[in-house]
Each structure stands twice: as structure tokens, then as C-alpha cells.
């Protein structure tokens, strides 16, 4: 089998150490070819080239942004996706039990099993659309990621994001939003942040959507409604301690399709940790693409089935 490895040398961790894992791939009888992204270049053409070359497995070697780019192209092709984590956060890998260390990740890839998973798809009012694997954030997180300096992020990773958060958060305000789920009115009012999740883990810190699963054909929305700042701070402390939003501090909605309208301006959007360029989003529809992706995962990995209570105690 030919394995196409899509490498993003411009991630926080730099070029993936493919040479270190070559003996493992060779022992499995695999052939491989590395397609490295150039600075300022796109990932999609590299994936298309790997598919044209006959790759039977396409591997994303990088962070969650690289994973999203690769998954967006291989979706619905029938070619499975593999993951060699090499980015800043590697949220998907941690959610699915994929080791971060290169040798362990390579063994997990070779000995893994294929699972079918959903993807999220967002469509904007101007017709633009994109897929996401983990989560889409509409609000403060999008503003923070827009303010994060790419060069600094490559140097210091999460520290650059934290610096942007300190600069953006104090001046952030709520927006009036209207949410409908599967064509029915779901919620309306002021909101600080909205997170549409295909998985549970977010930023390697918290589970805003503790019941989200990437194989149920649904998307989960966690909405932080507008509350007075003192209460918001208290909720933030509880979230930091429990890692799951308290029941009185969030609104959860679940469906196959979730439409969000921002009625007093636009909100910045991020997909799997990558900010979306352009003006703030005033209307967006998020839909689950059920069973759109085949992913090679560790034999004991995959989406966890913990209850919110178990998650809160973790």
C-alpha cells in the first residue's frame, strides 16, 4: 500500500520526523511518499496529488488545521485518513487516543483499525462553505485566533494564543443571536460564545459539549449566554475546575442542522483552531455530514463514551 503523508513543516513543531518512523512503516510492508506544504501554500493540492498517485491511505502529519484540510479533501472518496500528530494542540489525536510521540503514533497507525466518522460542514450567507472535524467556534475564540500572530505561534505555540486572549478578552461584548435546530426555533438572546462540536474535547482543556460524538450523525451546540460579568467569572472558575460547563451556565442544543443568526453585527469564526478570513459572520448553517470520513485509529481508541458526570470527575 502506498501511504501519502501530508506534512506541514510550518506548524508549531516543525517538519514531521518521517525518517524516524520509516522502519516502522517498512516493517508493515508499506510504501510512502511525503508531500510537504510550502510556506503560504495550500494543503488541498497536495492531498489531490497523493490521491492521483494512488495512495491507499492519506496521513495528516501536523496539527488540527492540517487534519481539517486533509479530511476535507479525502471525505467521501472512500480513502481512509491517518493521523501523525505534530501541531500545537492535537485535539483530535488526544480525543481519539492517538499517541503524540512519533514512534508510538506510527505503531498505532500500522496496527490500527478503520472507523467511520462524521464531519461538520458550515455554509455562510455568501455561499462559502467549509468542513471541520472537531469544532467550530463563533465568538470570542474566533477573535482570539484572528489576533494570534502566526509567526509567534510557530515559535511559542499556545503562549502566542494566550497573549492574544489577554489582549482581546477585556473588550469583548455579547452579541444578539438567534438559533434554530433542524428548522425549529431553539434559542434567542445575548451570547458570549457559541461552540458547535463534532467531538467533546476543546483546546485540550475542557469539554463544552460533553455528549458530542463524531459518529452519531449529529452536531452539539454549547452556547454561553449573556450574563453579568461577576457571574461569568464564577462560571469560568467552575469550568476550569470541572472542565464541563455548569448546568446553569450554558445552553446545549443538538441536531443534524444548526443555523445561527447574529442580529446585531457579525462574529468571527474559527474552524478546528484556524480563523476564517473575511468579515464577521452574520449567518451560518452548520450541518453534520454523517459517515463522511473513514479514519484509521488505534485499536483501543475512538470516541469515549463517558457520561458528563464521569467527565467532570476526570
For 85-133, how does the pLDDT look when each residue is reduced to its tens digit (9 = 90+)?
Answer: 998 889 999 999 999 999 999 999 999 999 999 999 999 999 999 999 9
pLDDT digits (tens, 9 = 90+) for 69-82: 999 999 989 999 99
The residue among 128, 169, 154 whose CA lies nearest residue 281 is 128
Q: Write phi, then psi, for 233 (nearest 5 degrees).
A: -65, -40
pLDDT digits (tens, 9 = 90+) for 23-67: 999 999 999 999 999 887 899 999 999 999 999 999 999 999 999
Regarding beta strands 113-124 and 283-297, do their DSSP bridges make them parallel or antiparallel, or are they unpaired? Answer: antiparallel
pTM to 2 decimal places: 0.90
> Cα–Cα distances in Å, from 89 out to 124, 167, 186, 264?
26, 21, 32, 32
- Residue 201 neighbours by CB distance under 10 Å: 25
Q: Which three cell numbers stand for residue 36?
A: 510537504
Q: Does domain 120-289+306-310 have CATH number 1.10.3720.10?
A: no
- CATH code for residues 2-111: 3.40.50.10330
Position 282 confidence tier, pLDDT thresholds 50, 70, 90: very high
Domain 2-111 identical in fold to domain 120-289+306-310: no
Checking if the pLDDT of 312 tops 50, the result is no
Q: Give the integer Cα–Cα distance in Å for 64 and 283.
A: 25
Give residue limits of the domains in the chain.
2-111, 120-289+306-310
- Residue 86 neighbours by CB distance under 10 Å: 25
- Residue 205 neighbours by CB distance under 10 Å: 12
210 Cβ contact partners less than 8 Å away, ≥ 6 residues apart = 200, 244, 306, 307, 308, 311, 312
Start-to-end Cα distance in the chain: 40
CA 296 to chain centre: 17
Position 310 confidence tier, pLDDT thresholds 50, 70, 90: very low
- What is the total residue count of the chain? 314
pLDDT digits (tens, 9 = 90+) for 152-194: 887 887 888 888 888 888 888 889 999 999 999 999 999 999 9
C-alpha Rg value of the chain to the nearest Å: 19
CB 44 within 8 A of CB 74: no
CB 268 within 8 A of CB 143: yes
pLDDT value of residue 242: 83
> Cα–Cα distances in Å, from 19 out to 15, 75, 102, 248, 302?
11, 28, 10, 51, 27
Amino acid at each position: 500500500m502506498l501511504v501519502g503523508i501530508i506534512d506541514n513543516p510550518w506548524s508549531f513543531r516543525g517538519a514531521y520526523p518521517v525518517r524516524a518512523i520509516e522502519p516502522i512503516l517498512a516493517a508493515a510492508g508499506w510504501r510512502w511518499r511525503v508531500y510537504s506544504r510550502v510556506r503560504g501554500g495550500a494543503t488541498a493540492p497536495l492531498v489531490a496529488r497523493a490521491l492521483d498517485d494512488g495512495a491507499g491511505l492519506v496521513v495528516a502529519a501536523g496539527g488540527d488545521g492540517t487534519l481539517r484540510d486533509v479530511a476535507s479533501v479525502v471525505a467521501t472518496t472512500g480513502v481512509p485518513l491517518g493521523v501523525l500528530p505534530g501541531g500545537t494542540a492535537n485535539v483530535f489525536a488526544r480525543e481519539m487516543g492517538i499517541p503524540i510521540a512519533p514512534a508510538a503514533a506510527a505503531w498505532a497507525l500500522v496496527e490500527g483499525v478503520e472507523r467511520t466518522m462524521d464531519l461538520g460542514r458550515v455554509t455562510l450567507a455568501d455561499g462559502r462553505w467549509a468542513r471541520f472535524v472537531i469544532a467550530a467556534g463563533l465568538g470570542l475564540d474566533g477573535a482570539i485566533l484572528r489576533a494570534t500572530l502566526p509567526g509567534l505561534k510557530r515559535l511559542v505555540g499556545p503562549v502566542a494564543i494566550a497573549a492574544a486572549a489577554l489582549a482581546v478578552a477585556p473588550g469583548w461584548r455579547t452579541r444578539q443571536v438567534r438559533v434554530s435546530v433542524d428548522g425549529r426555533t431553539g434559542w434567542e438572546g445575548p451570547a458570549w460564545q457559541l461552540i458547535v462540536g463534532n467531538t467533546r474535547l476543546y483546546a485540550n482543556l475542557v469539554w463544552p459539549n460533553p455528549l458530542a460524538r463524531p459518529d452519531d450523525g449529529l452536531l452539539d451546540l454549547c452556547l454561553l449566554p449573556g450574563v453579568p460579568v461577576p457571574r461569568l467569572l464564577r462560571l469560568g472558575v467552575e469550568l476550569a475546575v470541572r472542565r464541563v460547563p455548569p448546568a446553569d451556565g450554558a445552553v446545549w442544543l443538538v441536531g443534524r442542522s444548526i443555523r445561527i443568526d447574529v442580529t446585531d453585527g457579525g462574529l468571527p469564526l474559527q474552524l478546528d483552531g484556524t480563523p476564517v478570513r473575511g468579515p464577521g459572520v452574520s449567518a451560518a448553517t452548520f450541518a453534520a455530514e454523517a459517515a463522511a470520513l473513514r479514519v484509521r485509529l488505534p485499536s483501543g481508541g475512538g470516541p469515549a463514551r463517558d457520561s458528563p458526570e464521569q467527565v467532570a470527575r476526570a
